[in-house]
A and B are shown apart, each in its own frame.
Chain A
Amino acid sequence: MTYVLECHDLHKAFGDLVAVDGIGFHIAEGETYGLLGPNGAGKTTTISMVTGLLERDAGEVTLDGEPLTSSTTEVRRGIGLVPQELALYPDLTATENLTFFARLYGMPRPLARRRIAEVLEVTGLADRAGDRVEKYSGGMKRRLNIGIGLLHTPRLLLLDEPTVGVDPQSRNAILESVERLSGEGMAVLYTTHYMEEAERLCDRVGIIDHGRLEAEGTRHELVQMVGQRDRVRLTASGPLETVSTTLATLPGVRQAGVRDGGIDLIVDDASALLAGILATVAEGGVTVSGVDIDEPDLESVFLHVTGRALRD
């Protein structure tokens, strides 16, 4: 299978400091891959090597099977970069910023006009398209920053911590945009140190620390990897003991017991099993008044894998 992006054994050192130490991963079409790690873990260095902004000490990067180096200009057409810092021309309007990058990517004029209109619409900047960027709010600038990365409809979109310093409303808009793009078939590499973002957006997550990829997989796989399970608590009334015994026999249910007017369960994947659990409870004549699910998160996975908290 040819992935959109494949990275093998990437290495980068700055003097004695090893920034990236043997990282490798791949991203398929329509997949969002998250690099989750604290500041200084090596996320931006990895993205810089993928884009050719930094020379690799060792390793290989391919885009749709084509080797990516700093000199392969045409292959880079398939990449859209959203840098961590704002990368805009403040004296120009949003339209002028987008027009400049459209020319830089050699987009034909009609296509450029259409894409600029689409990007302005998607980023919610159509009404302010003629205003200079310096007059925009921080959130608007962030959205335009992402819009420029999307303009030429790249095969691979690289977002380097795009929500740092963003207000909650803009942050949510950014996350929705990424979800939509992934749904449209774009491969996305998303770096973050926010566990919630990685859980919400990413099909697979690579946990990175001290330049090494410590673990990789879907959220479920990562949780499984560290041996943790979801906890489900049903606040209920009726024949609790009988139903609890029945529930314990369901596939994926590891443990079930009655406690404090309810049933506590330990399951492999709460979201997948919840419908079956509720059906069994209803068949057993138990009335459920509340459901609480406690899923082990990536924070606990990170703690388990690296021995320290994500925000240390």
Chain B
Amino acid sequence: MRRALAIAAKDVRERIRDRSAIVVGIIAPLGLAAIFSFVFNPIQSFSFSATYAVVNQDGGPASTVFVDQVLGAMEASGAVDVVATGSVDEARRLVEEGADPFGSGEGVDGAFVFPAGFSDLVQSAQPAGFEVIINDGNGAGANVAVAMARSYASQLDSVRLAVATAEHLGDTTDRLEAGARAAAMPQPVDLVDVPAAVKQLGDTTFYAAGLAIFFLFFTVQFGVNGLLEERNNGTLSRLLVAPITRPTILVGKMLTAFLLGMVSMILLAIATTLMFGAEWGNPIGVLILIVAGVVSAMGIMAVVAGFARTAEQAGTFAGIIGVVLGFLGGTFFPIAQAGGLLATLRFLTPHAWFMQGLGDLAGGNLADIVPSVVALLLFGLVTGSVAMVRFRKGLQP
């Protein structure tokens, strides 16, 4: 083992001396993470805005609550502009034409139409309805209008049901009072929206981790290509004649790859946390994922080196494979959100499992990363075994 360590120490010294590992393993991913973080963060601060028309022919409490409290609150936050219109036809025209009533550059995304007597029908537990006029081409604003209307209608249904039930049971309370009491009751099922940042990685963390795992595959290459470089230097013959076993040479090279990979990943995790505010998660979980990620990268890149004839050829192969796996694995953009076949295929890459593991760690606990860790280690074990067979064959006298 001491001699394997001597080989690894020599290799690391060479890599530090020629600066290649520092550039590929630390500077490049850190620089790109900084650029991505600065470029994409303004886009993420984009906020929703829409313009809605309202036709309130009812004027009763059920429609007034929606207009004043629901739309009013959104208007107060600046997310929504509300324009009151006198007729359904006018509202429809505004929506269809995408008119810009405030000259803000935004057309009307939808219109809410409350017919006369709407509130009375609700309070008397009679069938009632209001209209939402949208133009399919208006996108998010139109969709939000429909969602708001459905949500409000659902709440009104609860009130109507409560009033009807009370009447059926012989409650003599005034309908208005009963309706008010029903509306004030808490909902039986309360959906708690978990903030997205807790379930998945934040943007800065995503790019920091994505670029780290992407460049990891190039960093470990400096170790696994070691045998090819020894051959290139002519020093392989000296190693083979020395009083050490051939497996010792292989262990030394793998140690080099492991050390470079670990140092690169740990430094990047620390640096992106301190410099860009990335949140990698529980340090123990992150460390476990990094170890598993390094093992998987070593295995895959060792196979590449095992089938290459020269270090240059291995570098070319590794470049192609690293980029393809990196993109497919979603290290540059969250490919899972693309859905379909790509979202499934990404799990053929260690990159996706690593990102998945970090996401699971962010929204859960250590046990949640087990599937990702197992998958990463399996990648390393299977590909590493193939590589070892190739390497040992290459070292045979």
Q: How many residues of A contact B (CB 8 A)?
A: 32
Residues of A within 8 Å of B234, CB to CB, are 83, 85-88
Are the CB atoms of B13 and A76 closer together than 8 Å?
no
Q: Which residue of B14, B18, B233, B244 contacts A73 across the interface (Cβ within 8 Å)? A: B244
Q: Which residue of B17, B235, B240, B243 contacts A105 across the interface (Cβ within 8 Å)? A: B243
Residues of A within 8 Å of B18, CB to CB, are 91
Kindly specify which of A46-54, A175-183, A189-197, A228-236 makes contact with the partner chain: A46-54
Query: Is A81 an interface position by the 8 A CB rule?
Result: yes
Query: Is B188 an interface position by the 8 A CB rule?
Result: no
Could you tell me the distance in whole angstroms from the C-beta of A72 to the nearest C-beta in chain B? 9
Cα–Cα distance between A51 and B199 once the two chains are bound (Å): 60
Query: Is A92 an interface position by the 8 A CB rule?
Result: yes
Are the CB atoms of B3 and A104 closer together than 8 Å?
yes
Interface size class of B (residues with CB under 8 A): 20 to 34
Q: Which residue of A85, A96, A104 contacts B242 across the interface (Cβ within 8 Å)? A: A104
Query: Is B378 an interface position by the 8 A CB rule?
Result: no
Query: Is A121 an interface position by the 8 A CB rule?
Result: no
Question: Closest chain B residue to A51 by CB distance?
Answer: B241
Are the CB atoms of B3 and A106 closer together than 8 Å?
yes
Query: Is B238 an interface position by the 8 A CB rule?
Result: yes
Are the CB atoms of A89 and B237 closer together than 8 Å?
no
Residues of A within 8 Å of B3, CB to CB, are 103-104, 106
Residues of A within 8 Å of B6, CB to CB, are 100, 103-104
Cα–Cα distance between A60 and B357 once the two chains are bound (Å): 56
Query: Is A4 an interface position by the 8 A CB rule?
Result: no
Are the CB atoms of B233 and A53 closer together than 8 Å?
no
Query: Is B170 an interface position by the 8 A CB rule?
Result: no
Residues of B within 8 Å of A96, CB to CB, are 10, 13
Are the CB atoms of B10 and A76 closer together than 8 Å?
no
Residues of B within 8 Å of A83, CB to CB, are 234, 237-238
Q: A92 and B13 in contact (CB under 8 A), knowing A100-B6, A106-B243?
A: yes
Q: Mark B214-246, 1 if CB is under 8 A from A, else 0.
A: 000000000000000000011101111111110
Q: Which residue of B2, B235, B241, B244 contacts A89 across the interface (Cβ within 8 Å)? A: B235
Residues of A within 8 Å of B240, CB to CB, are 51-53
Q: Mark B1-37, 1 if CB is under 8 A from A, else 0.
A: 0110011001001100110000000000000000000
Question: Closest chain A residue to B245 by CB distance?
Answer: A73
Query: Is A148 an interface position by the 8 A CB rule?
Result: yes
Residues of A within 8 Å of B17, CB to CB, are 91-92, 132
Cα–Cα distance between A246 and B235 once the two chains are bound (Å): 62
Are the CB atoms of B238 and A81 closer together than 8 Å?
yes
Are the CB atoms of B243 and A73 closer together than 8 Å?
yes
Query: Is A79 an interface position by the 8 A CB rule?
Result: yes
Are the CB atoms of B244 and A104 closer together than 8 Å?
yes
Are the CB atoms of A104 and B237 closer together than 8 Å?
no
Cα–Cα distance between A100 and B240 once the two chains are bound (Å): 14
Q: A53 and B243 in contact (CB under 8 A), knowing A83-B234, A89-B10?
A: no
Most A CB contacts (10 A, CB to CB) among B7, B235, B239, B245 go to B235
Are the CB atoms of B243 and A92 closer together than 8 Å?
no
Q: Which residue of B14, B243, B396 contacts A76 across the interface (Cβ within 8 Å)? A: B243
Query: Is B397 an interface position by the 8 A CB rule?
Result: yes
Residues of B within 8 Å of A88, CB to CB, are 233-235
Residues of A within 8 Å of B245, CB to CB, are 71, 73
Residues of B within 8 Å of A70, CB to CB, are 396-397
Are the CB atoms of A52 and B242 closer together than 8 Å?
no
Could you tell me the distance in whole angstroms from the C-beta of B233 to the nearest C-beta in chain A? 6
11 A-B pairs (CB sep. < 8 Å): A51-B241, A53-B237, A53-B397, A73-B243, A73-B245, A74-B243, A87-B233, A89-B233, A92-B13, A96-B10, A101-B238
Complex A-B, nearest 8 residue pairs according to Cβ-Cβ distance, in ascending order: A87-B234, A103-B6, A70-B397, A77-B243, A85-B234, A91-B17, A55-B397, A81-B241
